[in-house]
A and B are shown apart, each in its own frame.
Chain A
Amino acid sequence: MIFTSSLELLSFHWVAYTIYATIIISVIAWFGYNLTREKAKSVVRIPFYWYMAFLVAGGVGHHIFTYNTIPWVSQDIGRADIVPDATYKFEIKKHVWTLPAKKITVQCGQTIKFDVTSDDLIYGFGLFRQDGSMAMQMQVNPGSPNDILWTFHHNAVFDLDSTEYSGPHMYDHEGKNLMRIKRFLEVVGCDNGGTK
């Protein structure tokens, strides 16, 4: 199993966490009910060391699972040695983007490097689909490197936005987000299934 976009990953996460939440609420409710009963017996006996082993496996296994199923993890760790298909540089100063182009078009499967610098405050760099869902984000700190590699596997049109609060001047008085660049990046060339 490989998650090729945040939509797939977050859908899986939604289902998995909802199942977990239902189980933990039910277990404590069942536990509370049985605490008051005279003749309640243990349905299962959980040996302490097995329980601890389960927690360790859960904590470590989660990271092993995501490392092997989410492609951007290894790509992020090893990004210094990966040659991107294209590099785009961005600058931010006083809540205004200096963009590499008015609009970027990316071919399906291309790996793009986004290199962002801030001249003053801490901002963010995020790409959002037209339904509002987020594809990815990173923080943009002044004085530090802020670069990310991203491989696009699905056709989509993305808005660019700062994902970190940088003061109220990020908005106009009526609350319009001045740092949101509509329909900034478009991915083309993928088939419906999300590959070339």
Chain B
Amino acid sequence: MSFTKTLIDGTNFDHKGLNALQKVTLRAVVMAFLFYGLVAIEGMIMRLVEVGPAAKGIIPEQFFHPEHFFSIMTVHPIVGIFGSTYQLVFGAFTFLVPYLTKKPLYSVKLANFTWLSITIGTALAWIAAFAWQYAPLYTLYWPLPADTEQFSIIGGIVFIVGIALIMIGTFGFIYNIYATIFARVGVHKNKTTKELLISGFGIDGMLNLINKLRGRPPYTKEPALALPVVAIFRGTVDTFLDAVVILGAGVLVLVYLIADLGGIHLNVAAIDALLYKNFFWWGLDLVADGLVLIYVAGSWYLLATLITGQKLFMENVARAALMLELLVSWMVWSHHLLGDQGQPEMMKLISGEMVTAFELLTQGLALFITLVTLWKARPLKMTFELKYLLGGLVGFGLAVPAAIIQADMGMNRVLHNTQWIIGAHVHIALIVGLYMTLYSAVYVLWPLVTNNTELWSKKLANTHFWMHLIGGIGMGAFMGMAGLDGMMRRHLYVNGEFQTDMILAAIFGAMLLIAWAIFLFNIIMSVGVKGLVGIFLPAKDATSSYGLDPEDA
């Protein structure tokens, strides 16, 4: 087959053969990877600015101006976390929950609304930064988002409306997932809501452990929900709470901006900045230390069992740990406020240090269970899904201890707000830990959601793996080193003050960008341009489940 024909038609992908559930899953995934590319480009622009004057011939002069630079920095995490990561995770779980519970999805229409709402919301936030240079950063520290001396009111309103749409889309996803889990149809026909709730919170796993210690028979031999569904259920609780908080902050900003537009200047000092910071970080941290860690643990368990075809090692402990993470994730936000002297010392000590250190335990446990499950099933073939899963384990193996080190009153004094945080912790956690795990899930789900479409090139897939892994670790490492040298994360350096670290970070960052282009090219060659467009056309088959008998579906 000629190159052009493959580019247009793909390998053997037939979008007309996809059902409604497969299509809505793929739509979210496509948008997620397009936004990922945008984020990678934004990241490279900022990195090149910080290389200094030597980069002035490579990127336009305007990027060196603070208004432009910080508007990119504002939307970079919005597009990355919500436009890309949320969409990818939501898309995957929208498919996985019906697949694992052997029930139809509650509503395909709602799933379509979810990806559309998040896509439009992300685009609006991006436009607000691009057109009006609205740049309060994703932290939205009060009262900066309502500072109309520095920012355009219209830009602010468009930005907040964008964020609100993302959160509304998120509520749509949450409703769909819970409505599917609690639907008493199929295998759950005879289950009560109480049984499903007990299983969803991992209480059955804990009761099984307690009964075992007391020499009694297990509470249940067959938990109502599969372990990955429990993780999705648990993580979604935090997804809901963080959406409420972010939406609440958005409404507050919107009230001030609209009042300003009407000529009424509300007093920004009426809102206590430190209290707001606590409220906002409580919610925002539920993304990082709540849903991400729980979703990732659940994904590791799912991938380990699918790759090995065996039962998960210590499943009851894993279930109970997911419940424990519920409490941990709600109590750790103060590690973001260790540099705030008005924050009570006891909150710094208990929430910021001690409870946060517990995450070493919960994530370490997930790593242990996953590794032992894989080890017990050896020899295994080094498939793409296994390779990416191991990459994901490396990512969190690096990033979680980096966070625990930083969540300390002594270390925080010299690390807070430096590039160490965003490089060695955040970027390695997201790019290596989370995305490698998600790529593993993509390769596991690929035959299911594309009806066994042949991947165009395994060599390219392999190249993508190595470039993404090395690029991700390398970029995070050199950003981290710059942080140790004193480079701040939310500063503009136009004179190449940390040039060597930034050049090295840019080289590895370029590897990430190229890796993404290779991955995208391979996927387009597999599904073809026609197929890619076809994903967005209405499905002829309205089935909202996968692998069920037509009667059950």
User: What is A's interface to B at a CB cutoff of 8 Å?
Assistant: 6, 9-10, 13-14, 17, 20-21, 24-25, 28, 31-32, 34-38, 40, 42, 48, 51-52, 55-56, 58-60, 62-63, 66-67, 69-70, 72-73, 76-77, 120-122, 124, 126, 128-129, 131-139, 141-148, 163-177
Roughly how many angstroms separate A147 CA and B374 CA in the complex, as a whole number?
51
| A166-B357 contact given A25-B394, A76-B413, CB 8 Å threshold | no
17 contacts between A and B (CB under 8 A): A21-B477, A25-B473, A31-B371, A36-B380, A51-B368, A56-B361, A67-B410, A77-B345, A121-B144, A124-B417, A136-B413, A144-B342, A168-B133, A169-B150, A174-B64, A174-B494, A175-B69
Roughly how many angstroms separate A77 CA and B349 CA in the complex, as a whole number?
10
Least CB distance from B494 to A in Å reads 4
Least CB distance from B68 to A in Å reads 9
Beta-carbon contacts under 8 Å, B409-433 to A: 409-411, 413-414, 416-418, 424
Whether the Cβ atoms of B65 and A175 lie closer than 8 Å is yes
* B-side contacts of A172, CB under 8 Å: 66
**Nearest residue, chain A, Cβ from B346:** A77
* A-side contacts of B405, CB under 8 Å: 13, 17, 62
Whether the Cβ atoms of A63 and B274 lie closer than 8 Å is no
Of the 9-residue stretches B35-43, B82-90, B449-457, B485-493, which lies at the interface with chain A?
B485-493
Whether the Cβ atoms of B66 and A21 lie closer than 8 Å is no
**Nearest residue, chain B, Cβ from A114:** B341
Roughly how many angstroms separate A51 CA and B363 CA in the complex, as a whole number?
12
Roughly how many angstroms separate A28 CA and B368 CA in the complex, as a whole number?
12
Of the 9-residue stretches B3-11, B134-142, B514-522, which lies at the interface with chain A?
B134-142
**Nearest residue, chain B, Cβ from A136:** B413
Least CB distance from A54 to B in Å reads 9
Whether the Cβ atoms of B378 and A164 lie closer than 8 Å is no
Asked whether B358 is an interface residue with its Cβ less than 8 Å from the other chain, the reply is: yes
**Nearest residue, chain B, Cβ from A173:** B65
Roughly how many angstroms separate A77 CA and B20 CA in the complex, as a whole number?
58
| A175-B342 contact given A17-B402, A35-B380, A62-B404, CB 8 Å threshold | no
Q: Is the interface of A mostly helix, strand, loop or mixed?
A: mixed
**Nearest residue, chain B, Cβ from A42:** B375
Partner of A55, one of B136, B143, B360, B371: B360
| A63-B353 contact given A164-B490, A167-B150, CB 8 Å threshold | yes
> CB-CB contacts of B345-379 with A at 8 A, as 1s and 0s?
10000000110011011001100100100110011
Roughly how many angstroms separate A139 CA and B386 CA in the complex, as a whole number?
43
* B-side contacts of A139, CB under 8 Å: 337, 339-341, 416
Least CB distance from A51 to B in Å reads 6
Whether the Cβ atoms of A31 and B375 lie closer than 8 Å is yes
| A38-B379 contact given A24-B394, A63-B408, CB 8 Å threshold | yes
| A167-B378 contact given A10-B484, A28-B394, A48-B368, CB 8 Å threshold | no
Asked whether B213 is an interface residue with its Cβ less than 8 Å from the other chain, the reply is: no
Least CB distance from B487 to A in Å reads 7
**Nearest residue, chain A, Cβ from B133:** A168
| A138-B339 contact given A48-B368, A175-B65, CB 8 Å threshold | yes
Whether the Cβ atoms of B485 and A148 lie closer than 8 Å is no
Roughly how many angstroms separate A169 CA and B492 CA in the complex, as a whole number?
12
Roughly how many angstroms separate A32 CA and B393 CA in the complex, as a whole number?
11
**Nearest residue, chain A, Cβ from B424:** A17
Whether the Cβ atoms of A31 and B341 lie closer than 8 Å is no
| A136-B414 contact given A20-B401, A62-B408, A129-B486, CB 8 Å threshold | yes
Roughly how many angstroms separate A38 CA and B339 CA in the complex, as a whole number?
52
